[in-house]
């Protein structure tokens, strides 16, 4: 019993457990004081950005690619969901589906008609959701392959600047080409959760939680596999990778394809949740800088750190938005509106974490190829064999 107590105490003192318990207490307080809607909206954003940040960590934290264009894959997933699935349903049910579909004068009439169809057919709604996710994943994989072409030849800052430019390019294409996703106006997304309209937010939250768990387990499986160890070897020393005969171009391409497919699914889930797709909303601030901030604060290369980094900053941002006016209303006397303090206070949170935890909330832990128990057994076996060997 003493050993069990010691193990339990040791696990409870782990940094990730302490952070999780603190965040759970904060969310419980918000639920009691403000109700569950604010909790569900906070958790939904946490789930979406966790998916996107985990994909970024696969490429940056585990592979060492200067991925400053995370927004590219997110845009790919969002745009393909905004442009294609709704048109297919409109075509099947005899509604306008051509270039005019994205026109706001047509789109706001067509999508409500599609909603009436979806809310009566659960199989169609689930099929539509699955089709959106598969389509987004494929589009993200394609974008990942395309962006891997410069990744083959460029390194460090040159690659980062190129990917940044790609992200802005795709955003402005969507913003100026109206038939894609409405141009300067938003295009509405058919809602697969229409069938549970009274409990939509709860259904979205639990669906996103399930997808996040699957993505986390998938990336954990990858990073602990021989392929994951190859990624880390490439990250730590490209020269050693070449010496061992690894195809660096192929490895980088595979990492970008997998990571971009996951990020595109995150972008698709975001527009499905919001119900609209607006090109100008996919900026590098929200979909590249924030995932980088989450990753660095969580601990580069640490998957559980990514999730906790997103959770801490998402909850912190919610608290700042909710209480900035009541806590800093006195600043109005000096002509400062507290509504603009969101990013300033969030920046202070980031600086505070960096000062006291320079390697992130949960730094990456070095892991042996074999479990520690197996290594001890091997060493013990070798020791016994050496002790039984007669001396010459």
> Do the domain assignments include residue 319?
no
Q: What is the pLDDT of residues 130-183, one digit of tens each?
A: 999 999 999 999 999 988 877 666 666 777 788 888 888 889 999 999 999 988
> Do the domain assignments include residue 237?
yes
The parent domain of residue 270 ranges over 31-313
Please count the structural domains in the chain: 1
E-assigned strand segments in 153-237: 187-188
The band of 291, judged by pLDDT with boundaries at 50, 70 and 90, is very high
> Do the domain assignments include residue 213?
yes
Q: Report pTM.
A: 0.89
CA 136, 37, 320, 23 torsion: positive or negative?
negative
Q: Which one, of 298, 288, 274, lies nearest residue 74 by Cα?
A: 288
Q: Average model confidence (pLDDT) for the chain?
A: 87
> Do the domain assignments include residue 221?
yes
Q: Of the given ranges (182-196, 209-223, 365-379), which has the lowest mean pLDDT? A: 365-379
Length of the chain: 392
Q: What is the pLDDT of residues 320-360, one digit of tens each?
A: 888 888 888 888 788 777 888 888 888 888 888 888 888 88
Q: Pull the structure tokens for residue 1.
A: 């019993």
Q: What is the pLDDT of residues 191-216, one digit of tens each?
A: 999 888 889 999 999 999 999 999 99
Q: Which one, of 149, 131, 123, 127, lies nearest residue 77 by Cα?
A: 131
DSSP state of 119: T
Q: Which one, of 301, 300, 306, 148, lies nearest residue 228 by Cα?
A: 301
> Do the domain assignments include residue 150?
yes
- Cβ(55)–Cβ(73) under 8 Å? yes
- Cβ(163)–Cβ(279) under 8 Å? no
> What CA–CA distance (Å, rounded) separates 68 from 70?
6
Q: Render the burial of 158-172: b for 16+ CB within 10 Å, e for the rest.
A: ebbebbbebbeebbe
> Do the domain assignments include residue 223?
yes
Round the CA-based radius of gyration of the chain to a whole number and report it.
Answer: 24
The CATH code of the domain that includes 98 is 1.10.3470
> Do the domain assignments include residue 375?
no
> Do the domain assignments include residue 41?
yes
The two most distant CA atoms of the chain are separated, in Å, by 94
Q: Which residues contact 81 (CB under 8 A, 6 or more apart)?
A: 132, 135, 136, 189, 267, 268, 271, 272, 277
């Amino acid at each position: 019993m003493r050993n069990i107590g010691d193990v339990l105490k040791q696990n409870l003192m782990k940094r990730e457990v302490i952070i999780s318990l603190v965040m759970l207490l904060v969310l419980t307080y918000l639920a009691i004081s403000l109700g569950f809607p604010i909790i569900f909206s906070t958790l939904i954003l946490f789930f979406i950005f966790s998916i996107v940040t985990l994909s970024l960590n696969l490429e940056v934290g585990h592979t060492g690619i200067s991925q400053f264009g995370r927004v590219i894959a997110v845009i790919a997933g969002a745009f393909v969901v905004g442009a294609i699935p709704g048109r297919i349903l409109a075509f099947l049910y005899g509604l306008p589906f051509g270039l005019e579909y994205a026109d706001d004068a047509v789109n706001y009439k067509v999508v409500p008609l599609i909603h009436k169809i979806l809310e009566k057919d659960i199989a169609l709604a689930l099929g539509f959701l699955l089709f959106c996710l598969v389509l987004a994943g494929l589009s993200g994989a394609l974008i990942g392959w395309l962006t891997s072409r410069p990744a083959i030849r460029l390194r460090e800052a040159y690659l980062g600047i190129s990917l940044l430019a790609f992200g802005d390019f795709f955003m402005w294409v969507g913003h100026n080409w109206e038939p894609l996703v409405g141009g300067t106006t938003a295009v509405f997304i058919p809602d697969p959760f229409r069938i549970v309209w009274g409990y939509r937010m709860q259904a979205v939250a639990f669906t996103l939680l399930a997808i996040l768990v699957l993505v986390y387990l998938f990336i954990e499986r990858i990073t602990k596999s021989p392929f994951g160890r190859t990624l880390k070897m490439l990250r730590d020393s490209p020269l050693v990778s070449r010496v061992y005969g690894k195809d660096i171009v192929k490895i980088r391409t595979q990492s970008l394809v997998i990571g971009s497919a996951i990020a595109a699914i995150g972008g698709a889930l975001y527009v499905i949740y919001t119900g609209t797709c607006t090109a100008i909303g996919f900026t590098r601030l929200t979909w590249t800088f924030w995932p980088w901030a989450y990753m660095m604060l969580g601990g580069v290369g640490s998957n559980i750190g990514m999730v906790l980094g997103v959770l801490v900053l998402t909850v912190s941002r919610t608290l700042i938005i909710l209480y900035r006016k009541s806590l800093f209303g006195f600043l109005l006397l000096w002509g400062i509106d507290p509504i603009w303090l969101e990013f300033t206070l969030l920046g202070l949170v980031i600086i505070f974490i960096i000062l006291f935890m320079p390697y992130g909330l949960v730094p990456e832990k070095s892991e042996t190829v074999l479990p520690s128990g197996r290594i001890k057994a091997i060493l013990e076996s070798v020791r016994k064999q050496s002790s039984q060997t007669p001396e010459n």
